[in-house]
Amino acid sequence: MSLTIYDISEKAGVSIATVSRVLNGSSKVKESTRQKILDIIDEYGYTPNSSARAMGLKSMQTIGILCADSSDIFLAKAVYYLEQNLQSAGYESLLCCTGYNLDAKKNYVNLILSKKVDGLILVGSNFIGEVETENQYIIESSSKVPVMILNASYHHDNVYSILCDDMNSMYRAATEMYESGIHDILYLYNSLSYSGRKKLDGFRMAMQSQKEPGYEDLICRVPEDISSLENVADFISDFAKAGHTFHGVIAADDELGIAAVKYAQKHSLSVPENLSIIGYNNSILTDCCTPELTSIDNQLEIQTRCLVKTLIGVLNGQEMPQKTVFSGTMVKRKTTNF
C-alpha cells in the first residue's frame, strides 16, 4: 500500500506544504529534508490522492461543501458559484447544510470525510470559532484533505482561506460617509461571526481615526431573535426614542439596512436627505426596497472562482497561497448621495 501526501508528511515530520514542494521539484526545501522525503517515497511508494487509496479506485472527483444554511441568500449564492466552478473543473459537489451549532458542524465534517471526498469547503465565517479549541476539527480535517475556507481566515497547514477584507471595506465605507458630513452614524449588527467582528472593528477604526467622540453609543446590536424586518424597524424606533440621534446608518447586512429604510418610512424621514443608509452583501434584496439600498459588495463570485482555482492547484500538488484577500466595493444606489 503506497503512501499519500499526508502519510509522508507524518512520517517525515514535516508539513504537507513541504512534501508538496518536494513532489513539485521546488528548490525552496532544505536538501536534508528533501532527501528524507524522497527516501520515504522510495521505500513505501506514493499515491497522489488519499481518496484513491481509500476507495481502491481512482479519485471520486467530489468536493464536500459545508454551509450552515444554503437557503440563506448570501450562502446560496456562494454555494451556487462554487458548484459551477467545481463543475467546470470536473468535480462534483456534495452539499451538506450543518446549521449554526458548532458540535453539529463537527459531526457533519466527520460524516462527509467518511464519504471520501477529495477536499472540503467551509462556506461562511461561522465555521471559525472565537476560542481556539472550537477550531480543532478544522486541524483534524486538514490532516486528511485540503480544507478551503470562504469568507474567513484560519492559519494551518493544508488550510486555505479566501476572503473579503471586511474590516477595510467597512472602514472605507464609514470613512466616506463621515467625510460627506454625516458624523452621527448608527452601526447596526446582529452577529459576531468572524466577518461580523471584522466589520465592527472596521467601523470602530474609522470613527477613531476621525476622533469622533461618543460613537460607541451608536453601536447597536439587534437581538438575533427579532426576525421580521418590521420588528427590527420598531427596535430602531425604540433606540431613537431612548435619546439617540443619528443621520446615517451602516448595517452589517442588507436585511438590517432595509429595516433602516422601513424605520425612515415609519417616521417620514426622507432618505437620503435626512438619513443615509448603507447595507452589506449587495444582495438581491437591495433592489426590493424604495429607495434602493446602497450596499458593499464583497465580490463573492471572484472569491469563489479563486477558491476553486486554489483547491484544484492544491489537489494537483502545486504550491498555492494559503490566504487570498479581496477588497469589497461600495455599490451606490439611492439611499446615499455622496
Q: How far apart are CA 113 and CA 145, in angstroms?
A: 8
Q: Which of 38, 54, 89, 95: binder of a second copy (CB under 8 A)? A: 95
Q: How far apart are CA 66 and CA 302, in angstroms?
A: 19
Using CB under 8 A as the binding rule, whether residue 97 contacts a second copy is answered as yes
Q: Which of 10, 23, 44, 69: binder of a second copy (CB under 8 A)? A: 69
Using CB under 8 A as the binding rule, whether residue 70 contacts a second copy is answered as yes
Q: Which residues contact 213 (CB under 8 A, 6 or more apart)?
A: none
Instruction: Cell numbers for 174, please give them.
Output: 464609514
Candidates 16-24, 39-47, 173-181, 286-294; binding stretch for a second copy (CB under 8 A): 286-294
Q: Which of 92, 103, 179, 319: binder of a second copy (CB under 8 A)? A: 92
Find the shortest distance in angstroms from Cβ 156 to a second copy: 26
Count of beta carbons in the 10 Å neighbourhood of residue 173: 26
Within 128-167, the residues that bind a second copy by CB under 8 A are: none
User: Given 3-state DSSP classes, what are the helix, strand and coil percentages for the chain, each rounded to the nearest 5?
Assistant: 45, 15, 35
Cβ contact 335:278 at 8 Å: yes
Residue 76 vs residues 9, 84, 228, 255: alpha-carbon distances, Å: 36, 12, 20, 15
Q: What does DSSP assign to residue 284? A: G
DSSP three-state, residue 278: strand
Candidates 26-34, 75-83, 121-129, 183-191; binding stretch for a second copy (CB under 8 A): 75-83
Q: Which of 80, 235, 239, 338: binder of a second copy (CB under 8 A)? A: 80
Q: What does DSSP assign to residue 3? A: B
Using CB under 8 A as the binding rule, whether residue 290 contacts a second copy is answered as yes
Using CB under 8 A as the binding rule, whether residue 112 contacts a second copy is answered as yes
Give the residue with the Cβ less far from a second copy, 230 or 319.
230
Candidates 35-43, 195-203, 285-293, 310-318; binding stretch for a second copy (CB under 8 A): 285-293
Half-sphere exposure (CA, 13 Å, Cβ side) for 289?
30
Find the shortest distance in angstroms from Cβ 298 to a second copy: 15
Q: What does DSSP assign to residue 99? A: -
Candidates 133-141, 146-154, 156-164, 226-234; binding stretch for a second copy (CB under 8 A): 226-234
- Which of 141, 127, 114 lies closest to 68 in space, CA to CA? 127
Q: Which of 84, 175, 237, 329: binder of a second copy (CB under 8 A)? A: 84
Candidates 21-29, 88-96, 150-158, 321-329; binding stretch for a second copy (CB under 8 A): 88-96
Q: How far apart are CA 303 and CA 251, in angstroms?
A: 22
Find the shortest distance in angstroms from Cβ 73 to a second copy: 7
Q: How far apart are CA 64 and CA 92, in angstroms?
A: 9
Binding positions for a second copy, rule: CB under 8 A:
62, 65, 69-71, 73, 76-77, 79-81, 83-84, 87, 92-97, 112, 115, 228-230, 258, 261-262, 265, 284-285, 287-290, 292
